[in-house]
Amino acid sequence: MSLDCVVIGGGAAGLFCAVKLAQRGKKAAVIEHMDSCGRKLAITGKGRCNVTNNCDALTVMNNIPRNPKFMFSALQGFAPADTMSFFEGLGVPLKTERGGRVFPCSDSARDIVRALVKAAEDAGVKIVYDRAEKLIIRSGAVNGVKCTGGEYHAPNVVVATGGRSYPKTGSTGDGYRFAQQTGHTVTAITASLCPMVTREHEECADAMGLSLKNCTLSLYEQGKKKPLFSELGEMLFTHFGLSGPLVLSASAHMGDTNKKRYTVKIDLKPALSEKQLDERILRDFSGFENREFQNSLVKLLPAKLIPIIVKRSGIAGDKRVNQITKSERLELVRCLKALEYNILSLRPVDEAIITRGGVRVSEIDPGTMASKLCRGLYFIGEVLDVDAYTGGFNLQIAFSTANSCAVHMA
């Protein structure tokens, strides 16, 4: 079969691009090296798939910390409203939740995967389960893809191989190799939306598994007063440090941890001012006057946090509550309002939700996703050096870049 286009990667961007191409009459094949398409898509949003954000294109750009301008045309051409119409048009009803996050009403990411794969099959996309090994280049233009099982020739090749995070889903970073094969620059590959390793990891390990549902987490760069990030939400203690939604979101605001130092401060009682918290502690203490300090925090804190806070407060655990001084109490309040951790690094990129870095965007036409270095070659989705905060923005990047590429090629 003669093909107009070979798409490498049957993930969010690749499948979407192939559907759009085939719907416009192009003969497209998707090469996927896992035994099914959309393995990463199926685990997005904790299995619920936060498929986009119900906002305008400009708001998406404001949620892209690196290279937002590159996304301008793609988002003008295909905005979140278009993503929502697309999936609803495929028979997947959607709902909008807190912060504009859009999910399928079924809360099942598999419904999104199934809809995309079915749309691809219905439109006549050929899905080939094989591993792309190398681009075939002739006279400075791409001419196809060499796979483990054979060669696929086409005048257009789209690299939609994703990044390097969660490699078990298939995104093993092969796209960077294809980019380098054609002279493209690949910027440093690191993690974003990633758990954090703390200097106080032993303390975190003691609280391992503890999830705080209603705390405020603020991220600071050393030497700066204003937090880089501060939000109310949920976080988790782990054996190496900190994880959970707030921590992942905060990590996207960090630079290179080898060059800059960061701390996070956790406000365990964000609904109370220091004064209100002090009054609350006084009330608790009055009921426990003869208890030891370490046994007086049961109403205030989850059990796993008590030894940590006792130690950090500097008050002896066996001190009688009625002997605790006002200044000791105020130190306790300070600990509860700003439980501080020093961040040593992020966890490895394998454990990140998103890869930071990728194919340098100045070498890609932002209106078409075409390579400026090799005719017929395109890059879409996470393989590009663009990444966003949480909220459905990363999948929107995949769909918008895929759309630009398909519209241009067709």
Ligand X SMILES: Cc1cc2nc3c(=O)[nH]c(=O)nc-3n(C[C@H](O)[C@H](O)[C@H](O)COP(=O)(O)OP(=O)(O)OC[C@H]3O[C@@H](n4cnc5c(N)ncnc54)[C@H](O)[C@@H]3O)c2cc1C
Q: Is 170 in the site for ligand X (CB under 6 A)?
A: yes
Minimum CB distance to ligand X smaller for 7 or for 277 = 7
Pair of tokens at residue 308: 């940590």
Exactly one of 73, 296, 394, 400 binds ligand X (CB under 6 A); that residue is 394
Q: Is 243 in the site for ligand X (CB under 6 A)?
A: no
Q: Is 117 in the site for ligand X (CB under 6 A)?
A: no
Exactly one of 386, 398, 405, 406 binds ligand X (CB under 6 A); that residue is 398
Exactly one of 337, 392, 400, 404 binds ligand X (CB under 6 A); that residue is 392
At residue 278, the 3 state secondary structure works out as: helix
Beta bridge partners of 257: none
Exactly one of 381, 386, 389, 405 binds ligand X (CB under 6 A); that residue is 381
Radius of gyration of the chain (CA): 25
Q: Is 267 in the site for ligand X (CB under 6 A)?
A: no
> CA quadruple 163, 165, 169, 170: dihedral positive or negative?
positive
Minimum CB distance to ligand X smaller for 245 or for 367 = 245
* 286-325 footprint of ligand X as x/- string (CB under 6 A): ----------------------------------------
91: left (phi over 0), alpha (psi -120 to 50) or beta: left
Q: Is 244 in the site for ligand X (CB under 6 A)?
A: no
Strands 52-53 and 132-138, by their bridges, are unpaired
Which 3-state string (H, E, C) describes 69-121? HHHHHHHHHCCHHHHHHHHHHCCCCEEECHHHEEEECCCCHHHHHHHHHHHHH
CB of 373 to ligand X, least distance (A): 20
Strands 94-96 and 101-104, by their bridges, are antiparallel
- CB-count exposure of residue 222 (10 Å: 0-12, 13-18, 19+): exposed
Whether 295 contacts 288, CB under 8 Å: yes
* 330-369 footprint of ligand X as x/- string (CB under 6 A): -----------------------xx---------------
Q: Is 113 in the site for ligand X (CB under 6 A)?
A: no
- List of residues contacting ligand X (CB under 6 A): 8-14, 31-34, 39-41, 43-45, 49-50, 131-132, 160-162, 165-166, 170-172, 174, 353-354, 381-382, 392-395, 398
